[in-house]
Structure 1
């Protein structure tokens, strides 16, 4: 009994010391953050990235069929689960924040005498250094799999899924490069382009390739909203409510009356995808999300005053691109490594019932562990400073990304 009590006491002391260490590290991050930093911006970016990650993990299935892996989606078999995509398809919020940070950072760079080329090179390096690592690893992996005799369709599926986040980087890089041109662009102009493209495609029987114009125009809408935020045009609560109510109403009409898909992500087997390329429904839905994000700013600022909450958000932001780029690889690594164990529910089986959904939710911690492994191995490609993330390097990086240098 004495040994058990002693062991319990020792274990309890260790837990308390661990919690104290976490609180102490969080307090250090909190106190070394520049006081003029808008923490709500970082919170919105972190929520947007994590929303995309969780959304993909919940609706992307790799089904094992006769030695071949192919993609499937529970939304394909259970379309009534479409509201899941409404919660986790958060790309518009990321483009909103990206436009806000880029236009604000470009103005600050000009004030410091930094040239456009220097500013753009620094920003694109943050995007493409981690992307280069992903591309290199999957090039080697694909060649190794093919040489070892792996099924070509399986390799094709894996590579396509692993590199799917790259489209986002290309679009985001293009909009970043165009920042000086769109600083004062009214979001209604790209919205009008999306409207007319869809009218020609779906209403007048125009060519399907015309939809790819919306890849730029569609994401330019939230990006230019971010620029309007920088200009102070979205500071009033009324702007958030107008975007939220107007975007919600427009999306409802488009889905219920105009025949747009209810799912805000692509679903295998469907003729129309709201994201590939973006449709008017995806853009109006993004407007509603941007309105909600703007309305949540004050609440997020209050929440981010808590050191633990802020340190978690700051850590995600330091590796936002690493998390985004490698989350599909984490999903596939888990799926492939456990394939010898048989067709495990929620991992290798068809996503055609709620049992699969429950099993997939249970797999999320395993995906998170795999992603943590990827993050540990590849985060240095994104971070300029590589010491302990709660030490000097972390503080330096936070200062480097202050609102006046973002």
Structure 2
């Protein structure tokens, strides 16, 4: 049997084993949002090499502001929170135990892979240092590994709010998300408006929860059947109009990701541009749902969606490690175009695109081992779990530069 025939047979088997009630469109949207995370980090994140051979973070957005629109496409966390809210409300209604038990189960599914990646890095860092990897490289690597994990903490909080989101949806329907975006608008007006000089810096942190809960609440409303096609069109057009107004009139930064050296950022913490983009993306997703569902009835397209969803947390937690698995050995060679050279020339973009298949292959190889962290730790003793927690905490402290 040829490799192609074997792949087709596997895809057909996955298609046959998929329950009829499975919402393929929502799974497809989740897979798309998941794959956008490594694609964005690999494409919009680079390195510079210091004289001692240490790697430091850099971004092509610093030199090429025209690349900012790429971040509008690759920043798909709004879609991820949307489908998260949709899936959570369905799971919440199907629960057989208490709300607390339901929540503990979902948190455990998110927490195990995070503990796994941070504990492994905590053990690997001293070994890498002993074999000659510079401390600057280790700190850069630690920052990159921890960087995507903030999302998990926020996602845990919004998941815990699911019962309240359901109540809000029942009472206010599709309007339940409006107070959240209004809250972000008020904070933005204070920190960027005439009173900006007298506003404390911590005020921006107030946007973290409503900024990301907005799309999650939309997902809950969608799952509860509170948003129809008219509402989807309102989200798409209203979100796009607000997004354009914020850029053109209020001069928000064009990039949806942080740019080194920039005075303002849209994502950490979220500005009003984040829910604006999330609204437009959510409206488009709702309108395209039926077409996407029909498209994913094809086994060849559905099978990769299943694989990506099964490895969701592995992709999120380990994709930066895959890039580092290429960049760290490359730093010992010297300046390699698109890998360890500064992302300040057009040629870097083409070179980085050429490296991305290797990053993907390395991630696939890592996932063969790391996938086990997503499974229940039935054989792990209390001592082993505690040790994993201590190692993870120690690595987080190192990554934040507090050690």
Q: Structure 1 residues 96, 36: CA separation in 2 closer, same or farther (over 3 Å shift)?
A: same
1:30-109 alignment, distance < 5 Å: 30-66=15-51, 67-109=53-95
Q: Distance in 1 between matches of 2:373 and 2:137?
A: 28
The equivalent position to 1:258 in structure 2, one of 227, 250, 262, is 250
Number of the residue aligned with 2:213: 220
Number of the residue aligned with 1:3: none
The equivalent position to 1:187 in structure 2, one of 177, 196, 199, is 177
Secondary structure at 2:55 match in 1: strand
Question: 1:61 offset after TM fit, Å?
Answer: 0.4
Question: 1:147 offset after TM fit, Å?
Answer: 5.0
Q: Distance in 2 between matches of 1:188 and 1:219?
A: 13
Q: Distance in 2 between matches of 1:320 and 1:246?
A: 31
* Alpha-carbon contact 1:39-1:301 (below 8 Å) kept: yes
Q: Does 1:28 align with 2:13?
A: yes
Q: Structure 1 residues 286, 76: CA separation in 2 closer, same or farther (over 3 Å shift)?
A: same
How large is the Cα RMSD of the aligned pairs? 1.6
Number of the residue aligned with 1:351: 343
Q: Distance in 2 between matches of 1:289 and 1:173?
A: 22
Q: Distance in 2 between matches of 1:153 and 1:208?
A: 29
1:326-384 per-position Cα deviation (integer Å, ceiling 9, x unaligned): 00111111101222222110001111121000000011100001101111111021145
The equivalent position to 1:197 in structure 2, one of 187, 191, 196, is 187
**Number of matched pairs:** 367
Question: 1:49 offset after TM fit, Å?
Answer: 0.5
Q: Does 1:207 align with 2:197?
A: no
Q: Distance in 1 between matches of 2:346 and 2:230?
A: 40
Q: Distance in 1 between matches of 2:321 and 2:339?
A: 14
* Alpha-carbon contact 2:89-2:224 (below 8 Å) kept: no
Q: Does 1:279 align with 2:271?
A: yes
Question: In terms of mean alpha carbon deviation, does 320-329 or 376-385 score higher?
Answer: 376-385
The equivalent position to 2:99 in structure 1, one of 116, 128, 148, is 116
Q: Does 1:135 align with 2:118?
A: yes
1:205-231 per-position Cα deviation (integer Å, ceiling 9, x unaligned): 112211111111100100000010011
Q: Distance in 1 between matches of 2:284 and 2:327?
A: 35
TM-score by length of 2: 0.88
1:95-126 per-position Cα deviation (integer Å, ceiling 9, x unaligned): 000011111111111xx3x1112111211111
Q: Distance in 1 between matches of 2:119 and 2:40?
A: 26
1:188-337 alignment, distance < 5 Å: 188-203=178-193, 204-205=195-196, 206-234=199-227, 236-337=228-329
Secondary structure at 1:71 match in 2: strand
Question: 1:232 offset after TM fit, Å?
Answer: 0.5
Gap regions ≥5 residues in structure 2:
169-175, 379-403
Number of the residue aligned with 2:388: none
1:186-242 per-position Cα deviation (integer Å, ceiling 9, x unaligned): 1011111111111111112112211111111100100000010011022x3222221
Number of the residue aligned with 1:402: none
Q: Distance in 2 between matches of 1:373 and 1:103?
A: 34
* Alpha-carbon contact 1:319-1:383 (below 8 Å) kept: no
TM-score by length of 1: 0.87
Q: Distance in 2 between matches of 1:102 and 1:31?
A: 25
Q: Distance in 2 between matches of 1:21 and 1:219?
A: 41
